[in-house]
Structure 1
């Protein structure tokens, strides 16, 4: 059996030191000689590589925070623009009028219970004469020419002699007037019965009578 040579008492080394163990290497960094345990650690064999310098994450965190804020602001702007665009009323749209005296209005699905009027024209500024026989609503600095968005069976607020009061859709259980017929043209005498009232617009006539079946 071959044993590793004895260490030089004056510090001299033999064999492959430093950098490894000689024959008889112990798995935990030493060797045995005879019956007496003798341990010797090779210089540098147990040294760990220096830890990498800690990275400064402050810039990364700030960058991520700024990115999140920009993303949120961008989303908010997109939402505001989407809401504004969705509430813009143009010719051909239908709308719900908040009050019989006109003014504020919101986009509504044509033919739905929420829709009171169809917009047939939009003009900048106040232009009462430009709407002809159609009703007029002023809102957002524009003039909206509007006609009732109704069909037979829909109910309306009571007829008013005051032309500044606009009829609106109403639940039939609370109404007095009910639409009986909607026709094109402007000949109410030919379209409506003698005991019926009517609303005449540039392109349609709406006949109405008392609410039935409620």
Structure 2
């Protein structure tokens, strides 16, 4: 493309190219609207680039929402775990005669085996005195039988590592005959009865009756 000579308001000037066609011509700077109009006719400047998609923002918002939901779930889980913690005064069911894992239970119910009288950090066997001991969750639980007259128990064993638990009377040999507070077992229980002694109660038992 060639450009017609333009009048030179400042006087004739020699262009750098042969033929002198650029004499007196001020070449528009590239990038300006004038450049596009002269080179490409009367077209408008190129359209602006399309707006950036907001996908990244949307993804970020979604991820943020998920994190918040997960955080809420963790908080709820921790709250539930804290509410299920067994404290002194609560009752619980043991899954095994050897102790260990336990679950909350209503005191006096068939599911409740023991009442917790104290909870100590770590392993503190001596701290429970005459009460039985269960180790769980890095804590020591001092426990006493949660029984009433007529409840049946797993058979008495001389092994100190075995804890008596409630049992259906149709499957049991021992049945609670008396529960007294802090009395001498020899005076509290009959001669032919066995007994469990705790710091605050004595539990007498005999053979299962009426089954």
Q: Same fold (TM over 0.5)?
A: yes
Tell me the equivalent position of 1:176: 173
Q: Whose helix proportion is higher, 1 or 2?
A: 2
Give me the whole-angstrom Cα distance separating, in 2, the residues matched to 1:83 and 1:65.
Answer: 27
Provide the rounded CA distance (Å) in 2 between the counterparts of 1:88 and 1:195.
Answer: 40
> What residue is the counterpart of 2:109 in the other structure?
112
In the other structure, the counterpart of 2:81 is 84
Match of 2:11 in 1: none
Which of 126, 130, 150 aligns to 1:129? It is 126
Displacement after TM superposition at 1:130 (Å): 1.2
Return the offset for 1:61.
Answer: 4.1
Matched with 1:195 is 192
Deviations 1:9-60 (A, max 9, x none): xxxxxxxxxxxxxxxxxxxxxxxxxxxxxxxxxxxxxxxxxxxxx9966467
Aligned length: 162
Matched, 1:65 2:62: yes
Give me the whole-angstrom Cα distance separating, in 2, the residues matched to 1:200 and 1:138: 20
**Residue 79 (structure 1) shift:** 2.8
- Residue 101 of structure 1 is aligned with which of 89, 98, 104? 98
Secondary structure, aligned partner of 2:149:
coil
Give deviations 1:152-185, integer Å, cap 9, x for gaps: 1111100001111110111111111111111101
Shift of 1:68: 3.7
Distance in 2, Cα, partners of 1:119 & 1:144: 6
d(CA) in 2 for partners of 1:155, 1:57: 70
Shift of 1:71: 4.0
Q: TM-score, normalised by structure 1?
A: 0.68
Q: Please, which of 71, 74, 77 is the counterpart of residue 74 of structure 1? A: 71
Mapped contact 1:177–1:209 kept (Cα < 8 A) = yes
Structure 1 unaligned spans of 5+: 1-53
Query: Partners of 1:68 and 1:177 in 2: how far apart?
Result: 58
Once the 2 structures are TM-superposed, how far is the Cα of residue 132 of structure 1 from its aligned partner?
A: 0.9
- 1:120-154 per-position Cα deviation (integer Å, ceiling 9, x unaligned): 11112221111111111112221111100111111
Cα distance in 2 for partners of 1:75, 1:158 equals 47
| Residue of structure 1 equivalent to 2:160 | 163
